[in-house]
Amino acid sequence: MGLGITFVVIAVLILAIWILVEFKRFRHKAWAILLILLILGIYFSFNSVTKGKDLDFKTAAGLKEVGGLYLTWLGHAFNNMKTITSNAIDMDWVGTNSSKLNNS
């Protein structure tokens, strides 16, 4: 009987250690995926903002102009998200029963 309990305790400890290691690995993998998505998002949004514009990337003044253009676009994007979120919060989300409306 003592050998069976010892085996169960050891198995639970091994399982706990394995779950902890997998959780740490998942957490690191999640951060890596988040960083990759952030980098891709910045890359594609930057290309979208600067596409079709005659911008100078070789001088300090040109880089300042490009940076200002991108940061202005980013600020407007966050402002738009704030407006959309506040409009969604202000909406009446109460469900109605359409069959009752048709019977009136």
Tens-place pLDDT, residues 22-58 = 888 888 888 888 899 999 999 999 889 988 888 888 8
Parse the chain into domains and list their residue ranges: 1-51, 52-90
Give the largest Cα separation in the chain, rounded: 81
The structure tokens listed for 89 are 């919060």
43: left (phi over 0), alpha (psi -120 to 50) or beta: alpha
- What are the two backbone dihedrals, phi and then psi, of residue 19, each rounded to the nearest 5 degrees? -65, -40
pTM of the model: 0.60
Q: What is the pLDDT of residue 60?
A: 93
52: left (phi over 0), alpha (psi -120 to 50) or beta: left
Confidence of residue 2 (pLDDT cuts 50, 70, 90): low
Confidence of residue 4 (pLDDT cuts 50, 70, 90): confident
Nearest C-alpha neighbor of 73 from the set 96, 54, 48, 98: 48
